[in-house]
Amino acid sequence: MLGGRDLLCRGFAVAVGSAWTLAVLASSSAAPVEIRNLPNAQAAVQADPTLFAATYHAIRSHYIDPLTSDSLAMAGLQSTMTLDPTLSIGREGDRVVFRQWHNVLLDVPAPAADDNQGWGWVTASVLDRAKQYSPDIAAKSEDALDETVIDGGLKLLDRFSRYAAPQIATEHRDNRDGYGGIGVTLDGEGASVRIAMVLPDSPAAAAGLAGGDHITAVDGISAAEMPAEGVAERLRGPVGSELHLTVLRDGGTNPVTVTMRRSHIVMKTVTMTHDDHVAVFRVASFNARTADNLEEQLAEAHREMGSALRGLILDLRGNPGGLVDQSVLVASLFLETGRVVSTKGRVPESNQVFDVTRDRPAETLPLVVLVNGGSASASEIVASALQDDHRAVIVGTSSYGKGTVQDVIHLPNQGELTVTWAKLIPPGGYILHHHGVVPVVCTANIASANDAEPIPGLPRSALDDHGWDALRAQCPASRIDRNVDVEVAERLLTDPTQYAQALADEPARPFQAASISTTVR
């Protein structure tokens, strides 16, 4: 959560709290620190040193490259000084000196390079002192200052490592893991809040709510008295808790109050369309229910179409990724046995192997996977696994090329730190990062399905970086979803000979659209 837009996490969070946090608190309050030439100097600090200590610990123990606490702390504090040009901080020998112009505001011994608690205390101490002497910094909220410091330190990491403040982190957790709610999406229209969509099999659906209903009150509190965000927040709560919702039916005049109990809501990420022969499954992202959603949709396609169903299209275009475990489960729906992906990083725990896992027979119908420049991380895991196993033909343009895993770490302030800790290796043995997935049948820069041709070349595992660059250059990444992608996929699925040639990744002849039956869509 494989999601910003590029989040790819392992599906669980490493706890940096509870007993560990208590240990930091104890260590921080007893830290021997010298403070010189300061009015009203106190060893205690108001900013939270445990947050910074936990951040430095998490990065040092998880990030794919080694870093030190002192480099992270100094980078974060120096970034904070840009809020007020009168302030500066630096190392002078074995001391950390914080100044306003030439006046020394703080002068303390520099902790050891790997002393997370010591540098957490120094960070908090500098922030406290900065707030005393700088109106610009004092005007910032604690969350904003924390974010500035942590983001400054993260500049030493790759662009996929990032920090989410508590409110944003809560939204991320809800998107990944679900939340207690009633299963609606909202549209705000001035003082009115309208239900845009009701999720099937949700409390809202059971209560008879529908798109177009206007919410007038939540638990007796008028919706007009709060912003749309406030209404959405009140709809959420503990699973099993009771909610009274007053709505005005679209076109009605008398409000109706319905009572529901909140359930665990996980947003649906898979949608299906089909014609008489081919089913198309669009996967928007990988959250905690994606594999279950896709399995349910596959079963529905077989029920509705029966023996007329000739093939399947798995549409991963624009899919930014999500949870690794879900990408493994999705790939496992189509693979009999074998490797889906492995990860390799600096710390032993980051070196893992993910094999096919299932509790039902694999889907065996012919399969085409659509990718483009917006397909990243978890979607690239699925596409590369199916491509390397010769289970699916990949159609579209080169994918994004985000082949790294991010670990999500909960921080003491309820924020989240997302840290890159491993690289992804598909079954073919190559590095997925930067290389990505290159389709066998490329649709970049073609006007119609008649112009599509396969890309001949060596097996992916035989390519060096130069070879990968040349391969991607033949099919440049594009983020545009075009109908021609689906048309090419459907043509392949309705011609067994062309499908088999493309599946082997060694096409015997150019892709001859004229020899393929007319699209059934």
Catalytic residues: 377, 388, 402
CA angle, 515 as apex, 510 and 521 as ends, to 5°?
110
- The residues near 48 (Cβ < 8 Å, ≥ 6 apart) are 124, 142, 146, 412, 413
| Spatial contact of 122 and 108, defined as CB atoms under 8 Å apart | yes
- The residues near 478 (Cβ < 8 Å, ≥ 6 apart) are 372, 373, 397, 444
Phi, psi (5° rounding) for residue 426? -70, 175
Rounded-to-integer distance, Cα 453 and Cα 372, Å:
16
Three-class SS of residue 348? Answer: helix
The two counts, helices (H) then strands (E), for the chain are 15, 24
| Spatial contact of 171 and 95, defined as CB atoms under 8 Å apart | no
Locate tokens 């594999």: which residue? Answer: 291
Three-class SS of residue 450? Answer: helix
DSSP readout, 6-40?
T--EEEEEEE--THHHHHHHHHHHT------S-TT
Torsion of CA 314, 320, 325, 329, to 10 degrees: 0
472 token code pair: 């991607």
- 3-state SS, one letter per residue, for 69-85: HHHHHHHHHHHHHHHCC
285 token code pair: 């992202």
Rounded-to-integer distance, Cα 242 and Cα 220, Å:
13
Rounded-to-integer distance, Cα 438 and Cα 400, Å:
10
The alpha carbon dihedral of 505, 376, 365, 447 has a sign of negative
Q: Name the helix (H) or strand (E) containing 105.
A: strand 103-109
Locate tokens 């070196």: which residue? Answer: 351
In terms of C-beta density within 10 A (0-12 exposed, 13-18 middle, 19 or more buried), how is residue 359 classed? exposed
Beta strands in 334-463 (DSSP E): 339-344, 352-355, 367-371, 393-396, 404-410, 416-425, 441-442, 453-454
348 token code pair: 């032993």
| Spatial contact of 309 and 301, defined as CB atoms under 8 Å apart | yes
